[in-house]
Chains A and B, each alone.
Chain A
Amino acid sequence: MSTILVQVIVGGLLLGAVYALFSSGLTLIWGMMNIINFAHGDFVMLGMYVAFVVYTLLGAGPLVGVPLAALVLATLGVIVYFGLIRSVMKGPMLAQILGTFGLALLLRYAVFWGFGANFMTLPENIVGGTFDVFGIRIQASRLLAGVVALLVTWGLHLLLTRTSLGSKMLAVSEDSMAAQLMGIRPDTMQAIAWAIAAAATGIAGALIATFFYIAPTVGETLAIVAFVTVSLGGFGSIPGALVAGLLIGVIESLSAYLIGAVYKDIVVYSLFLLVLWFRPQGLMGKM
């Protein structure tokens, strides 16, 4: 196998890990309360801007930017839950969809207003440089994002399967009335779910900002990938988002390299539809 082909696959895996990273928050919210957060891409965008502000004001990199983005977004998650989600959940399905969609536009244009439309970037060397491993080039910033993606996925999975908080959250999502009778407050659990999901998304944004451009509309570009990743992996399945993210990353890279960049979406979406045809619940989702 030629070095370039290996480079394509490595690049695809690192890209896929990032896809998985910014999809985990979306799948968590769905798993918890059957709501699709259409503002998800814009949460990622906000995480990117937090990293940008941290860099401009403090000159600090992701070591400060990532935790701060997690904190800011977690707060926003709680505010969004109590301010919007709790009310629209009582409404019809369409209100839920349009509610988060409206939130997406609100966030996007608030950032437009505050920061302008210009594309911005963090300095190239904010996370190390690029390693050369036997002729394969690995960007430190993407590697960091990839490693964190694995850690966040693993952490969320452990949280849901091994802790009492996770069990309580799952109990609420299974049957909120029964959970209430057991002394669990659904409101608190769901607010926590929003905080965790938004924090994970903020982390993703702050890490992606180290190698991607930052713009108010960047959420639009990323959100589509997140939706595909989540439905391919299985709505609500966090390990599923990881597998699907990696799969999409590698398939995109390989098909762009071997067939042509304009055809990569055709390949990815054909595969996507095929999988949904045979497994409508996604690769690792439950029926």
Chain B
Amino acid sequence: MNFSRVAGLLCAASLAAVLAGPVYAQSKVVKIGAVFPLSGNAASAGIHAKAAIETAMDIINNAHPELGNFPLAKDAGLSGLGGAKVDVVFADNQGSPATGQNQALRLITEEKVVALTGAYQSGITLTASAIAEKYGIPFVNGESVAANLTERGFKWFFRTTPIASDFAKLYHDFLKDMKAAGAKTDSVAIIHENTEYGTSVASVIAAAFKEQGQPIALDIAYSANTTDVQSQVLQLKEKKPDVVIMVSYASDAILFAKTMKALDYKPPMIIADDSGFSDPSFIKAVGKISQGVFNRSSWSLGAPGSVTYIINELYKKKSGDDMDDTAARQMQAFFVLVDAINRAGSTEPAKIQAALKATDLKADQLMIGYKGVKFDAKGQNTLASGVVIQLQDGEHYVAVWPKANAAAAPVIPYKGW
């Protein structure tokens, strides 16, 4: 046998292996699609989301006995599917609802994913999940909070995160408590970005406050990819509200923090609605000039050695940053989805859907501070909850309200820089 013949045989053999590989792997791999903003203005959030999902994949696909009884952690792969591994196909929504929709379509029809998660921006979750609904593919969302997402009568859409109406109540009760403690909270202003997320959250908060007999004094909408926010800050400076509620993505949140300092404006109290203000790059860039901003969160790091602490360490290795609330909620949603697939013991969409409907996770089975995960008929998690946190030192958020969950007492007025 001469050399070329040996080489030829080797080639054929390797070709056969390559061809056979996927066929063999197919029965052992569960493919899930994830649509996130991996480029565009919200890329920072999307890339942290990707790291969160990859960390979850690592926990699911490899044995992690150090996580104790945390679901899916102990063994490698999914026990319900004979040790099958989970594979996530990521797609970039580029911050556009149309692209998000196209990517969902591509993941379903070409990548043949059995379920979807994503898509960060509420406006894109709206369009992407409509495609999943049409094709009968389960879509589990962990971070989009616009109320209407679960008001569309969808059968395949499930959402684990608390939503705008939960926060509105949280903020209102918090302010009531602060008022009882002597703070002035009579006039409340809302400033929000003008896509689906900001608009819907702002309107739900405004409606909830009005219902409680405290109409919003000033409502300012702006575009998130704006180059300048001086006028908006000056509007606030002129009206002097007691409390400013901000619903922003990261780039605009950073601009607001910088502009407030430049124009020397400090409202007595700022409540930020997660998103931009939770983004690790916000804290690194302008945390030091945003000291004392309140925020909401369902995530807390926990004591060294706890499940959340270990998960954060794994996540930090992938992303370089500590886990923030948004990434944690995305990770939890992914665990909920994979747990359902595991219980379904099948990759058939209808069986996954049935398993999702039967989800009943307790607080101690979660890596996030919800009271549990249980979906109502609309697909909304009824046990989602959150706490008020504060950026007291400009570097780390600490839980400050309600008192039962607090690690520190809330500090007012807003300190800024």
At the interface, yes or no: B383 with Cβ under 8 Å from chain A?
no
Cβ contact within 8 Å between A217 and B40: yes
Q: Which of A189-227 contact B (CB under 8 A)?
A: 211-213, 215-218, 220-222, 225
Is there an interface contact between A119 and B238, defined as CB atoms closer than 8 Å? no
B251 touches A252 (CB 8 A): no
Q: Does B39 contact A (CB under 8 A)?
A: yes
Complex Cα–Cα for A260 and B47 (A): 33
A119 nearest CB across to chain B (Å): 4
> A123's closest neighbor in chain B, by CB?
B288
- Is B250 at the interface (CB under 8 A from chain A)? yes
Given A15-B227, A118-B280 in contact, is the A211-B258 Cβ separation under 8 Å? yes
Quick one: closest B residue to A117, CB to CB? B43
Which residues of chain A have C-beta atoms less than 8 A from B27's C-beta?
none
A: number of interface residues (CB 8 Å): 41
Query: Is B254 among interface residues, defined by CB-CB distance under 8 A?
Result: yes
- Residue pair B44, A124 in contact (C-beta under 8 Å): no
Decide yes or no whether A112 CB sits under 8 A from chain B. yes
A253 part of interface (Cβ distance < 8 Å): yes
Known A217-B41, A257-B235, A260-B220: A120·B281 in contact at CB below 8 Å: yes
Q: Which of A15, A109, A112, A213 contacts B228 (CB 8 A)?
A: A15
- In this assembly, does B230 line the interface, its C-beta being within 8 Å of a C-beta of chain A? yes
Find chain B residues with CB under 8 A from A155 CB: none
Minimal Cβ-Cβ distance residue in B for A222: B227
Nearest to B43 among chain A residues (CB) is A117
Q: Give the contacting residue for B251; candidates A8, A215, A265; CB below 8 A.
A: A215
Residue numbers in B under 8 Å from A75 (CB-CB): none
Q: Across the interface, which residues of B come within 8 angstroms of A264, CB to CB?
A: 231
Give the CA-CA distance A218 to B44 in the complex, in Å: 12
Q: Is A176 an interface residue (CB 8 A)?
A: no
Minimum C-beta distance from A127 to chain B (A): 12
A94 at the A/B interface (Cβ < 8 Å)? no
Residues of B within 8 A of A142 (CB): 262
Query: A11 contacts which chain B residues (CB < 8 A)?
Result: 228, 230-231, 234
Report how far A12 CA is from B230 CA in the complex, Å: 9
**B contact residues around A253 at 8 Å (CB):** 228, 230-231
Chain B, interface SS category: helix
Q: Are A220 and B227 in contact (CB under 8 A)?
A: no
A60 interfacial by beta-carbon distance below 8 Å: no
- A262's partner among B38, B194, B228, B261 (CB-CB below 8 A) is B194
In Å, the complex CA distance between A11 and B265 comes to 15
For B255, list chain A residues within 8 Å (CB): 212-213
In the complex, chain B residues 210-268 whose Cβ is within 8 Å of any chain A Cβ: 220-223, 225-232, 234-235, 237-238, 250-251, 254-255, 258, 261-264
* Chain B residues with CB under 8 A of A261: 220-223, 226, 229, 231-232
Contact A119 B250 (CB under 8 A): yes
* Given A15-B228, A261-B226, also A8-B234 (CB < 8 A): yes
Interface residues of B in 41-64 (CB under 8 A from A): 41, 43-44, 46-47
A119/B279 in contact, CB under 8 A: yes
Measured between beta carbons, the chain B residues less than 8 angstroms from A120 are 281, 284-285
**Cβ of A59 < 8 Å from any Cβ of B?**
no
The minimal Cβ–Cβ distance linking A146 to chain B, given in whole angstroms, is 13
Q: A119-B254, A139-B262, A262-B223 are in contact. Are A112 and B230 (CB under 8 A)?
A: no
The distance in angstroms between the C-alpha atoms of A225 and B250, with both chains bound, is: 20
A104 to chain B, nearest CB (A): 12
Q: Is B289 interfacial (CB 8 A cutoff)?
A: yes
Residue of A nearest to B263 (CB): A137
Complex-state Cα separation, A12 to B40, whole angstroms: 26
Q: Is the CB of A8 within 8 A of B231?
A: yes
- Would you call A56 an interface residue if the criterion is a C-beta within 8 Å of the partner chain's C-beta atoms? no
| Cα distance, A67 to B302, chains bound together (Å) | 48
Contact with A213, one of B38, B222, B285 (Cβ below 8 angstroms)? B285
Indicate with 1 or 0, residue by residue over A222-260, a CB within 8 angstroms of chain B CB atoms: 100100000000000000000000000000111011001
A108 CA / B47 CA spacing, docked (Å): 15
- Are A124 and B234 CB-contacts (below 8 A) given A118-B281, A119-B251, A137-B264? no
Residues of A within 8 Å of B229, CB to CB, are 261
CA distance A130 to B238 in the complex (A): 19
Give the complex CA separation of A133 and B383 in angstroms.
54
Pick the residue among B221, B251, B261 that contacts A124 (CB under 8 A). B261
Q: Is the CB of B254 within 8 A of A4?
A: no
B residues within 8 A CB of A15? 227-228, 230
A124-B258, A137-B263, A253-B230 given; A260·B221 CB < 8 A: yes
B258 pairs with A221, CB closer than 8 A: no
Q: Of A118, A142, A254, A262, which is in contact with the most chain B CB atoms at under 10 Å from its CB?
A: A118
B160 to chain A, nearest CB (A): 25
Extra inter-chain contacts (20) besides given A109-B39, A124-B258, CB under 8 Å: A7-B263, A8-B230, A15-B230, A116-B47, A118-B281, A119-B279, A120-B285, A121-B258, A124-B261, A124-B417, A142-B262, A213-B251, A213-B258, A213-B285, A217-B39, A217-B43, A221-B225, A252-B228, A262-B223, A265-B223
Could you list which residues of chain A lie within 8 angstroms of chain B, going by C-beta atoms? 4, 7-8, 11-12, 15, 108-109, 112, 116-121, 124, 130, 137, 139, 142, 211-213, 215-218, 220-222, 225, 252-254, 256-257, 260-262, 264-265
Nearest first, the 5 A-B pairs at minimum CB distance are: A256-B231, A261-B222, A117-B43, A257-B231, A118-B281
26 residue pairs bridging A and B, Cβ less than 8 Å apart: A4-B234, A8-B234, A108-B39, A112-B43, A118-B284, A119-B279, A119-B281, A130-B262, A137-B262, A137-B264, A211-B262, A213-B251, A213-B285, A215-B41, A217-B41, A218-B251, A220-B41, A221-B251, A253-B228, A253-B230, A256-B222, A260-B221, A261-B220, A261-B222, A261-B223, A262-B221
Chain B residues at the A interface, C-beta cutoff of 8 Å: 38-41, 43-44, 46-47, 194, 220-223, 225-232, 234-235, 237-238, 250-251, 254-255, 258, 261-264, 279-282, 284-286, 289, 320, 417
